[in-house]
Copies of this chain bind each other. A is one copy, B any other.
Amino acid sequence: MKNQPIPNRALDLVGILRGEGLRITPQRIAICRALTGRHDHPTAQNLYDELRSDFPTISLTTVYQTLDTLSRLGAITSLGRAGDDTIHYEVNTEPHINLVCRDCNQIFDLPSQGIRLLEQEVRQKLGIAAPQGKVVYYVHCNDHVDLHHSNENPRENHGENHDE
């Protein structure tokens, strides 16, 4: 698996690291690939568990560090600790609302037109080209059965070569 081709989206993340003059290591490639293969909001531990089967020597610390690096570069977004006490990340760069369930701690993406306007407002007021931020609302997913289906559709396929 380690020698499989790298999906475009993962290449994007790797390219961001390279653009910063950071070293491209097998660990970082694996983490970028794992990130882009997900449509949920993984934690460092989630990714570590997933990666270990293909990459038994990877360390949890490396996963933490790489996520922090990518996050500070704006390549991914840290949602902070959501309900449970762990930091969740997301790769979905499309503007959207994150719905956090107060009961089960799951996070659901809700597409939003309002966010686009909000980002525009932030860009204008702060003079930032690409603002980093997060929008979170709390729900009880049992009250919104439809939410359970909202994360099932993989993000639109940009023509990447799938490696699974």
Task: State which of A45-53, A131-139, A155-163 sits at the interface with chain B.
Answer: A131-139
Chain A positions 122 through 147: 1 when the CB is less than 8 Å from some CB of chain B, otherwise 0: 10011010011111111100001000
Instruction: State whether the Cβ of A115 lies closer than 8 Å to any Cβ in chain B.
Output: yes
Within the complex, what minimum Cβ distance (angstroms) separates A101 from chain B? 12
Chain B residue numbers with a CB within 8 Å of A72 are 102
Closest to A118 in B: B114
**Docked complex Cα distance between A136 and B134 (Å):** 5
Q: What residues make up the interface of A, taking CB atoms closer than 8 Å to B?
A: 72, 80-82, 97, 99, 102, 110, 112-115, 117-118, 120-122, 125-126, 128, 131-139, 144
Given A80-B80, A112-B121, A133-B135, 15 further pairs, Cβ under 8 A: A72-B102, A81-B81, A99-B126, A110-B122, A112-B118, A114-B120, A117-B117, A118-B118, A118-B135, A122-B137, A126-B137, A132-B138, A133-B137, A134-B135, A134-B136
